[in-house]
């Protein structure tokens, strides 16, 4: 039964068919599959499968990334209230677009994935000043700051990641708060994350789930 659900859900995700994916989940729950199994055995493995596919050069497109994350977030939102006990939060993240950047798609994909991975995520929005990234990370007890930049000048600029790093250093927070970056400039220059002094980068919104989970583990070690 569960194997059939997993197969049908994965097919719907890869076809970017939200209605079919939600119908698969609905029917599975009606047939007795637990909400916990829906999340941990169907939704999260689907994200992991897409990460694996991407790493094996499968040409997943942006629409698939977007739909995978949006459906995952939607199903997670529906299932969590039905859990027998509240799920354990894996970690906390604040995420936003760098100062001067108004391109929210990548951030939205990341947020959807993080929610499904049981990571508590706070969306700081677009055009976020560096000080606010740090202040909000402290306020939310976040292990990771996620900074999205679609443009070269917002990735490399003095009010982007470089400034966030400087503030973390000044406040002696570098061991407790890590920085993950992503967006087009990083895809075109894989060493750029080092230049802007981030701890890690993700090639796309789906892979960001794993990159951020790894950083959370590093902080909690």
80 counts as binding another protein under rule CB under 8 A: no
Between 37 and 189, CB nearer to another protein: 189
CB of 154 to another protein, least distance (A): 7
CB of 118 closer than 8 Å to CB of 91 = no
Nearest distance in Å: CB 84, another protein: 31
* Region of 188 on the Ramachandran plot (φ > 0 left; ψ -120 to 50 alpha; else beta): alpha
Enumerate helices (H) and strands (E) in the chain, giving the number of each.
12, 5
- Is residue 148 within the footprint of another protein (CB under 8 A)? no
| Contact between 166 and 181 (Cβ < 8 Å) | no
Q: Which of 20, 92, 103, 132 binds another protein (CB under 8 A)?
A: 103
Tokens encoding 184: 């087009």
Minimum distance of another protein from residue 41's CB (angstroms):
25
Strands 91-97, 144-148: pairing is parallel
Residues in touch with another protein (CB under 8 A): 15-16, 18-19, 59, 61-64, 66-67, 70, 100-105, 108, 127, 151-154, 156-157, 184-185, 188-189, 191-192, 195
């Amino acid at each position: 039964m569960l194997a059939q659900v997993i197969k049908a859900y994965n097919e719907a995700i890869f076809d970017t068919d939200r209605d079919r994916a939600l119908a698969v989940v609905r029917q599975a729950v009606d047939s007795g599959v637990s909400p916990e199994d829906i999340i941990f055995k169907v939704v999260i493995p689907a994200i992991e499968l897409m990460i694996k596919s991407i790493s094996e050069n499968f040409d997943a497109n942006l629409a698939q990334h977007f739909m995978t994350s949006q459906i995952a977030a939607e199903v997670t939102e529906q299932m969590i209230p039905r859990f027998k006990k509240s799920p354990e939060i894996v970690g906390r993240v604040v995420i936003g677009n760098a100062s001067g950047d108004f391109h929210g798609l990548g951030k939205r994909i990341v947020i959807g994935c993080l929610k499904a991975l049981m990571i508590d995520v706070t969306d700081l929005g677009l055009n976020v000043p560096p000080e606010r990234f740090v202040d909000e990370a402290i306020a939310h007890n976040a292990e990771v700051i996620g900074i999205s930049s679609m443009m070269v000048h917002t990735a490399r600029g003095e009010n982007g990641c470089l400034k966030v790093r400087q503030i973390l250093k000044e406040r002696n927070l570098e061991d407790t708060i890590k920085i993950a970056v992503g967006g087009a400039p990083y895809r075109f220059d894989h060493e750029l994350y080092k230049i802007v002094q981030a701890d890690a980068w993700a090639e796309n919104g789906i892979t960001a789930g794993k990159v951020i989970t790894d950083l959370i583990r590093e902080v909690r070690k």
